[in-house]
């Protein structure tokens, strides 16, 4: 019991450190820059970040959210991503314990975090993450998450196919582009990890979340319907709901039906 608590603490702190690296990925992948070198710098004055100013969350608080050299405000995104990554490290360890499913699911969730924040910033979902993620997550799911090869394959095909047709019909009906190719690839990646049964659930929940947030933006910020809200973060949120509650929901559904 005691050692489990310590392990949870260690993984949560490690999660925050990984979150720091995810911030680098979020900033650099859309620019086509290396995520390994050079070390992090202030985007305004270019001063390299000192190691003692690079402690997840803590440094942000100690520095008052400002660069030590030029006082440029540091985006709130940095501590937020670090906190989120730490939180999911803890939740996933709690869910899977010391099994290979834990690191597999953690890498998957980290990818969703990077995709969500890149999509929020740039309205793009880089192919390197989704098209690269499809084979990686299909293999991880088959090896460690109990998915069959056929299920992963059908998940990729149905995930890509469904959104592709939604996108084509939406454009034909409204004359504007609603869903990008990035969303199609992302749903294929989610299907690769969860299998085909997840697709309908993820589509329903993400559309619902998107509709609620879209309505709130229209009502309270006066944005009009044409203002595009990126769909990727909603797909990722729905995927997280499925990851943590999908099995219980399927069992509940089957119990109700039988």
Candidate segments 68-76, 105-113, 129-137, 180-188, binder of Zn ion by CB under 5 A: 68-76
Nearer to Zn ion, 59 or 85 (CB): 59
Nearer to Zn ion, 45 or 61 (CB): 45
In whole angstroms, the minimum distance from the beta carbon of 46 to Zn ion comes to 7
Nearer to Zn ion, 64 or 100 (CB): 64
Nearer to Zn ion, 46 or 222 (CB): 46
Element counts in the chain: helices (H) and strands (E) = 9, 0
In whole angstroms, the minimum distance from the beta carbon of 198 to Zn ion comes to 43
Distances in whole angstroms, Cα of residue 145 to Cα of each of 8, 133, 151: 21, 16, 12
CA neighbours closer than 13 Å in the CB half-sphere of residue 154: 11
User: Tokens for 59?
Assistant: 């440094």
197-232 as b/e, with b when 16 or more CB fall inside 10 Å?
ebbebbbebbeebbeeebeeeeeeeeeeeeeebbbb
In whole angstroms, the minimum distance from the beta carbon of 49 to Zn ion comes to 9
Candidate segments 32-40, 59-67, 202-210, 240-248, binder of Zn ion by CB under 5 A: 59-67
- How many residues comprise the chain? 258
| Binding status of residue 74 toward Zn ion by CB under 5 A | no
Q: Which residue has the tokens 């690296």?
A: 21
Nearer to Zn ion, 44 or 127 (CB): 44
In whole angstroms, the minimum distance from the beta carbon of 38 to Zn ion comes to 15
For residues 112 and 194, is the Cβ–Cβ distance under 8 A?
Answer: no
Question: What is the crossing angle of helices 197-221 and 149-174, to 10°?
Answer: 40
Candidate segments 14-22, 44-52, 220-228, 234-242, binder of Zn ion by CB under 5 A: 44-52
User: Tokens for 101?
Assistant: 């499913």
| Binding status of residue 69 toward Zn ion by CB under 5 A | yes
Q: Which of 61, 70, 168, 211 binds Zn ion (CB under 5 A)?
A: 70
In whole angstroms, the minimum distance from the beta carbon of 28 to Zn ion comes to 17
User: Tokens for 89?
Assistant: 């490290």
For residues 67 and 44, is the Cβ–Cβ distance under 8 A?
Answer: yes
Q: Which of 24, 72, 83, 179 binds Zn ion (CB under 5 A)?
A: 72
Q: Which residues contact 17 (CB under 8 A, 6 or more apart)?
A: 56
| Binding status of residue 63 toward Zn ion by CB under 5 A | no
| Binding status of residue 67 toward Zn ion by CB under 5 A | yes
In whole angstroms, the minimum distance from the beta carbon of 10 to Zn ion comes to 32
| Binding status of residue 121 toward Zn ion by CB under 5 A | no
| Binding status of residue 45 toward Zn ion by CB under 5 A | yes
The contact set with Zn ion (CB under 5 A) reads 42, 44-45, 67, 69-70, 72
């Amino acid at each position: 019991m005691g050692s489990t608590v310590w392990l949870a603490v260690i993984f949560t702190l490690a999660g925050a450190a990984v979150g720091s690296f995810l911030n680098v990925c979020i900033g650099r992948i859309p620019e086509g820059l290396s995520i390994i070198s050079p070390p992090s710098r202030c985007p305004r004055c270019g001063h390299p970040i000192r190691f003692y100013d690079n402690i997840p969350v803590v440094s942000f608080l100690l520095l008052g959210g400002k660069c030590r050299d030029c006082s440029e405000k540091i985006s709130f995104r940095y501590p937020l991503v670090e906190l989120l990554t730490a939180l999911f490290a803890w939740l996933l360890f709690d869910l899977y314990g010391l099994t290979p499913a834990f690191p597999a699911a953690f890498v998957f969730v980290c990818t969703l975090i990077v995709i969500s924040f890149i999509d929020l910033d740039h309205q793009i979902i880089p192919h390197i993450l989704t098209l690269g993620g499809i084979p990686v997550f299909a293999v991880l799911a088959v090896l460690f998450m109990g998915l069959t090869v056929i299920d992963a394959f059908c998940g990729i095909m149905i995930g890509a196919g469904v959104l592709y047709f939604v996108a084509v019909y939406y454009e034909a009906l409204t004359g504007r582009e609603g869903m990008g190719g990035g969303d199609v690839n992302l749903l294929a990646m989610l299907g690769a990890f969860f299998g085909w049964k997840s697709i309908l659930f993820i589509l329903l929940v993400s559309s619902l979340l998107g509709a609620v947030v879209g309505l709130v933006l229209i009502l309270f910020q006066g944005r009009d319907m044409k203002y595009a809200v990126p769909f990727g973060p909603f797909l990722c949120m729905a995927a997280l709901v499925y990851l943590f509650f999908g099995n219980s929901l399927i069992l509940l559904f089957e119990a109700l039906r039988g």
